[in-house]
């Protein structure tokens, strides 16, 4: 099936699900400013007729990667089977159980296909509802951080609500595949990136800390699952490129969560800390860390109370503080891959930078400053 035939097939299925008798559509390809490393994104606008009148719908089509290397390394299992399960199972439970409006918390599911070589997912384009991507530099300001953390807290709260609703633990466990441990190829990507960048870090003032993480890499990867106080279905890759924002008077007022490709059974602390470490610069992080923590936890508490649940029965503040220390080494490893990709330094992992320039001294210096700042914060946290 050609790419065009594949798209025509997807659009026809979306049209059926929307109840369109006749339709036409237009497409546009991915904006190059969007950081997308797996698969192909196409933006579609469909216009058609239903029994109730004309309908216009904007949606995003996400095709599986065609690259043989990515497919062979398990990208379909890591990315598409998981995200489709999230949209078709997990988020449908959230919509059923939620006492607050979820229509702006995540996109609407429209169609999916897991057939070999036809893997695809179609969801609503939230930009049609007034959302847009963060524009500007790599890092978020305080206003964007606040609305992002509130959205994350609501997402985590719904997972706890679901856990409370589903009494049989085996039913809960089977909602999403691969939920207890990361797929091996993803872990390998983290390891390859860490080892490939280690020589840039060992000559810093925290070289011993970086070397210790390397020496205990397997334990770092497993501790974030086995030694934490709470496990829920968490996002797994929460950062600014996986969030859309709605604005009022040029200030963000809400956030929509995208891209559930790495959703897993994880600690809420891992989602929180990975987001804070990779989405805000060092100075702002240190100035507002307690504000960020309180924003997240207060919203988690309020969201659970709205469902008649007590946050302490699921995740006390003490549990969160404990888990943050447990998952911190993993979050440093995650941040390494994130910043290495962004700065064009990543040539070792399965997912590589788009424009690799591993000899750019300015970018190497920026990378080292970022990673040293993160480790400084980690050491200060664990010593308190």
**225: confidence class by pLDDT, cuts 50, 70, 90:** confident
- pLDDT value at 302 more than 90: yes
pLDDT, tens digit (0-9, with 9 covering 90-100), for 126-181? 998 899 999 888 899 999 999 999 999 999 999 999 989 986 656 655 555 444 45
Q: How far apart are CA 226 and CA 369, in angstroms?
A: 31
**237: confidence class by pLDDT, cuts 50, 70, 90:** very high
**262: confidence class by pLDDT, cuts 50, 70, 90:** confident
Task: Give the pLDDT confidence score for residue 156 in this predicted structure.
Answer: 98
Give the single-character DSSP code of 206: T
Task: Give the pLDDT confidence score for residue 185 in this predicted structure.
Answer: 75
State the burial class of residue 322 (Cβ atoms within 10 Å of its Cβ: 0-12, 13-18, 19+). middle
- pLDDT value at 62 more than 50: yes
Q: For residue 105, which of 233, 246, 272 has the smallest C-alpha distance?
A: 246
Task: Give the pLDDT confidence score for residue 223 in this predicted structure.
Answer: 85
Place of tokens 């080892």: 195
Mean pLDDT of the chain: 88
State the burial class of residue 107 (Cβ atoms within 10 Å of its Cβ: 0-12, 13-18, 19+). buried
- Could you tell me if 129 and 104 are in contact, meaning their C-beta atoms sit under 8 angstroms apart? yes
- Could you tell me if 353 and 339 are in contact, meaning their C-beta atoms sit under 8 angstroms apart? no
User: CB atoms < 10 A from the CB of 368, how many?
Assistant: 16
Mean pLDDT of 16-28: 93
Of residues 329 and 38, more confidently modeled: 329
What would the two tokens of residue 13 be? 């299925």
pLDDT, tens digit (0-9, with 9 covering 90-100), for 118-130? 889 999 999 988 9
Angle at 146 between CA 142 and CA 151, to 5 degrees: 150
Place of tokens 């040029």: 250
- pLDDT value at 36 more than 60: no
Does the predicted model carry a pTM greater than 0.85? yes
Sequence ranges of the domains in the chain:
3-383
Q: How far apart are CA 19 and CA 3, in angstroms?
A: 24
- Tell me the CA end-to-end span of the chain in Å, nearest whole number: 59
What would the two tokens of residue 46 be? 């469909």
* Antiparallel, parallel or unpaired: β 264-266 and 232-234: antiparallel
Alpha-carbon distances of 159 from 77, 95, 231, rounded to whole Å: 22, 11, 10
Task: Give the pLDDT confidence score for residue 183 in this predicted structure.
Answer: 67
Task: Give the pLDDT confidence score for residue 178 in this predicted structure.
Answer: 46
Of the segments 40-44, 162-166, 250-254, which one has the largest average pLDDT value? 250-254
- Could you tell me if 104 and 246 are in contact, meaning their C-beta atoms sit under 8 angstroms apart? yes
Q: What is the DSSP string of 343-370?
A: TT---SSSS--SS--TT-HHHHHHHHHH
Task: Give the pLDDT confidence score for residue 239 in this predicted structure.
Answer: 93
- Could you tell me if 110 and 124 are in contact, meaning their C-beta atoms sit under 8 angstroms apart? yes
Q: How far apart are CA 339 and CA 368, in angstroms?
A: 10
Mean pLDDT of 71-82: 65
Q: What is the DSSP string of 258-327?
A: ---TT-EEE-HHHHHHHHHHHHS-HHHHHHHHHHHHHHHHHHHHHHHHHTT--GGGT--HHHHHHHHHHH
Place of tokens 């950062």: 239
- pLDDT value at 48 more than 80: yes
Mean pLDDT check: name the lowest of 18-22, 78-82, 242-246: 78-82
- Could you tell me if 27 and 42 are in contact, meaning their C-beta atoms sit under 8 angstroms apart? yes
Angle at 326 between CA 347 and CA 156, to 5 degrees: 85
Q: How far apart are CA 70 and CA 27, in angstroms?
A: 26
Q: What percent of the chain has pLDDT over 90?
A: 67
**382: confidence class by pLDDT, cuts 50, 70, 90:** low
């Amino acid at each position: 099936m050609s790419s065009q035939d594949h798209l025509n097939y997807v659009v026809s299925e979306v049209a059926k699900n929307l109840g369109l008798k006749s339709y036409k559509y237009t497409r546009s390809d991915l904006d190059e400013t969007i950081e997308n490393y797996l698969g192909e994104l196409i933006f579609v606008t469909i216009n058609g007729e239903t029994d109730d009148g004309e309908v216009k719908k904007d949606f995003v089509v996400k095709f599986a990667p065609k690259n043989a290397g990515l497919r062979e390394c398990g990208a379909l299992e890591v990315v598409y089977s998981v995200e489709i399960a999230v949209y078709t199972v997990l988020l449908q439970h959230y919509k059923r159980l939620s006492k607050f409006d979820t229509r702006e918390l995540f996109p609407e599911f429209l169609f999916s296909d897991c057939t070999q070589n036809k893997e695809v997912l179609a969801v609503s384009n939230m930009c049609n509802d007034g959302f847009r991507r963060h524009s500007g530099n790599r890092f978020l300001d305080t206003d964007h951080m606040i609305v992002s953390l509130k959205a994350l807290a609501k997402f985590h709260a719904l997972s706890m609500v679901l856990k409370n609703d589903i009494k049989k633990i085996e039913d809960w466990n089977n909602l999403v595949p691969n939920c207890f441990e990361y797929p091996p190829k993803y872990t390998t990507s983290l390891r390859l990136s860490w080892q490939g960048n280690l020589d840039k870090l060992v000559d810093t003032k925290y070289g011993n800390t970086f070397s210790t993480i390397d020496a205990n890499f397997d334990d770092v990867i497993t501790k974030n699952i086995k030694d934490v106080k709470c496990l829920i279905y968490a996002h797994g890759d929460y950062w600014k490129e996986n969030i859309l924002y709605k604005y009022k008077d040029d200030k963000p007022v809400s956030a929509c969560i995208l891209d559930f490709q790495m959703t897993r059974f994880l600690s809420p602390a891992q989602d929180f800390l990975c987001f804070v470490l990779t989405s805000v610069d060092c100075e702002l992080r240190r100035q507002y860390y307690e504000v960020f923590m309180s924003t997240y936890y207060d919203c988690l508490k309020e969201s659970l109370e709205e469902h008649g649940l007590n946050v302490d029965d699921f995740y006390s503040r003490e549990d969160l503080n404990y888990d943050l220390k447990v998952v911190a080494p993993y979050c440093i490893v995650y941040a390494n891959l994130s910043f290495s990709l962004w700065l064009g330094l990543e040539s070792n992992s399965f997912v590589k930078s788009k424009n690799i320039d591993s000899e750019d001294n300015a970018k190497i210096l920026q990378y080292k400053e970022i990673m040293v700042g993160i480790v400084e914060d980690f050491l200060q946290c664990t010593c308190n």
